[in-house]
Structure 1
Amino acid sequence: MVRFGVVGTNWITEAFIKGASHHEDFQLAAVFSRTEQRAGEFADKYGVNRIFTNLEEMAKSDVIDAVYIASPNSMHASQAITFMENGKHVLCEKAIASNSVELSHMIKTAKENQVVLMEALKSTLMPNFKAVQNHIDKIGKVRRYFASYCQYSSRYDKYKEGTVMNAFNPEFSAGSLMDIGIYCIYPLVVLYGEPKSVQANGYVLESGVDGEGSLILKYEEMDAVIMFSKITDSSLPSEIHGEDGNIKIDKISSPEKVEIIYRDGKHEDISREQLADNMYYEADEFMTLIQQGKSESCNNSLENSRITMKILDEARSQMGVKFPSDK
């Protein structure tokens, strides 16, 4: 068994627990929240008898082996480092840190303490993304990667009414790029590595974070076009364009249907069956690394997280988005 603690008691933590519970070796052992009442309510819901309101006490305790961190982005680095310095493995929600400086400290700490650190970017560990990886040679020389993820946030209504919630607050290292755009960027990095150049445009809200934006990334023999937004919707799929055909991905953030459309018009459905509780796959990957004594994932490697964060930093710089954490 891998005994987990969770930091954060919001919907994403509930989704993680639901997905991870499909794994026979998952055990939820402790809950952290800033208030005892909230920690207790959340723990009771899942039959957990250990709660913490002090992060260091939880990190030093012997009731957990690993932790899932789903706090605001600005808190990821300091919290992860605290746990890793106490020998705990860390699965950290995306974006894994506020910037590259924070991430470098996290990686250094993971290596010094010989623990697993992995970014919880679920899509690149799901069966239908692996189907893309296994069949991509069928479309010939790839010339373009196109990814779109635009999802109107209910919190934007509050923002327009004058209430700035976490999702649109630079204090929490938030915004469309960090929350939505990363789903488009990370798979690109897994497939093709670091780009030669990045061009970014975006609409910056008065709060100081981006509401939407777009990127063009240049590679040696291809380019990548990325669109993301938290203030508009889009129903566009994502595609990878090759000289012999293209791969169509229904949802880049959580691929369910993947097909190849060849130049002669033929279609090949390469979709795989997968669990509806799709956060299972990141939990499985993370626990397998721990159980097999491996240091990091292949798809969600520390290097892929480093490259992705470097792209996020450059894009934010070009858009004019600055976080207090950048200081």
Structure 2
Amino acid sequence: MKIAVVGTGMIAREALTALQEVEDVEVVTICARPHSREKARALAQEFGVPQVWADYGAMLAAHEADFVYLGIVNSVHFDYARQAIAAGWHVIVEKPFTSTLAEAEELIARARAAHCYLFEAVTPLFLPNYMGILETLPQLGLIRLVQANYSQYSSRYDRYLARDVAPVFDPALSGGALYDLNVYNLELIVSLFGRPKSAIYGANVGFNGIDTSGIMALRYDGFVATAAAAKDSDSPSFFMIQGESGWIRADGAPNELPSFTVGLRGSEPKTYALNRYEHRMVHEFEAMQDIFARKDYMSVEEGMQTSRAVMAVMEKARLMAGIQFRAD
């Protein structure tokens, strides 16, 4: 499987690092906007990538790879993915899938029509520890509470307080704590339990109308779930499921799920660490390569449906909290 990495920021570097560990996957090009050409060349030299493009349309037309990996600002996920699908490429798009539900639905429809392999790169859903949680879930009995927290003080928050707005805090670029961090919590909850009956978002909103932290409250039949995330403050992160017969707790960032502990009534808690790689992104690229090699389009379809459901929940809650994106 050949991949073209689009982007030169932190997440593109992380992807390039992870891809070095994945067998049967080759990064053949890095694509950047013209003003980032030199940065792309430096990355290509560092990671041994043979080619650099500074024209996305021309790169798509040359079609020298199977997939584009889009590690770019949130607000252009839709347009870059749409162009790639139209040019006959398969697509891996970083979370969040898109800025709006309408964009998500259009991408999915285009991918189906073209039989495009369209993946959202949401690391926890590809981790062995997630699979372990999924397999253990029935042992908990009737679920009563789900709690998730992903909070880390952003390296760009001090700049934000000084009115220097980075993309992750820019509503015009589809930023904010919900779309940057809480999306991981929601992907876990929705993938395990489906779309909630209702959702509300209580957000701390900054001077430019973006959420710097907030809590989602989700209502399901028989239980409630909360998903908290913060870029303006820090605390231990975790993911917890409570049932009438036991509990599961994963300590650490929900995008990594480094381990999980199962406590069943009448038994001593047991901790599991099933992830095989230190870098969280290796598992997802390995899984995508396997799905592509096996022509397992059913897994692609399942992933797209989860992405759509999460986007529907986030958009409704975001608008309810008064957070407007340019894409709206």
TM score, norm. by length of structure 1: 0.96
For the aligned residue pairs, the C-alpha RMSD in angstroms reads: 1.5
Partner Cα separation in structure 1 for residue 237 and residue 43 of structure 2: 37
Q: Which residue of 2 aligns with 1:22?
A: 21
Is 1:306 matched with 2:326? Answer: no
Contact 1:131-1:271 at 8 Å conserved across structures = no
Structure 1 residues without counterparts, runs of 5 or longer: none
Partner Cα separation in structure 2 for residue 129 and residue 11 of structure 1: 25
Partner Cα separation in structure 2 for residue 149 and residue 109 of structure 1: 33
Q: Which residue of 2 aligns with 1:114?
A: 115
Contact 2:94-2:120 at 8 Å conserved across structures = yes
Structure 2 residues without counterparts, runs of 5 or longer: none
Distance 1:25 1:32, change over 3 A: same
Partner Cα separation in structure 2 for residue 245 and residue 283 of structure 1: 33
Letter of the 1:93 counterpart:
E
Distance 1:299 1:222, change over 3 A: farther
Task: Note the C-alpha offset of 1:289.
Answer: 2.0
Choose from 279, 293, 297 the match for 2:295: 293
Partner Cα separation in structure 1 for residue 50 and residue 21 of structure 2: 21
The C-alpha deviation readout for 1:136-189, integer Å capped at 9, x for no partner, is 122211111110111110100011122111110111100000000001000111
* Worse overlay, 189-198 or 284-293: 284-293
List structure 1 segments (4+ residues) > 3 angstroms apart after TM superposition: none
Task: Note the C-alpha offset of 1:119.
Answer: 0.4
* Worse overlay, 53-62 or 185-194: 53-62
Q: Which residue of 2 aligns with 1:210?
A: 211
Q: Which residue of 1 aligns with 2:8?
A: 9
* Alignment length (residue pairs): 325
Identical residues among aligned pairs (%): 27
Letter of the 1:27 counterpart:
E
Letter of the 1:48 counterpart:
V
- Secondary structure, aligned partner of 1:301: helix
Q: Which residue of 1 aligns with 2:93?
A: 92
Contact 1:289-1:296 at 8 Å conserved across structures = no
Q: Which residue of 2 aligns with 1:37?
A: 38
Task: Note the C-alpha offset of 1:273.
Answer: 4.1
Equivalence map 1:150-189=2 (5 Å): 150-189=151-190
Letter of the 1:8 counterpart:
G
Task: Note the C-alpha offset of 1:300.
Answer: 6.2
TM score, norm. by length of structure 2: 0.95
The C-alpha deviation readout for 1:96-140, integer Å capped at 9, x for no partner, is 100101111111111121110010000111011111011112221
Q: Which residue of 1 aligns with 2:49?
A: 48
Partner Cα separation in structure 2 for residue 95 and residue 154 of structure 1: 20
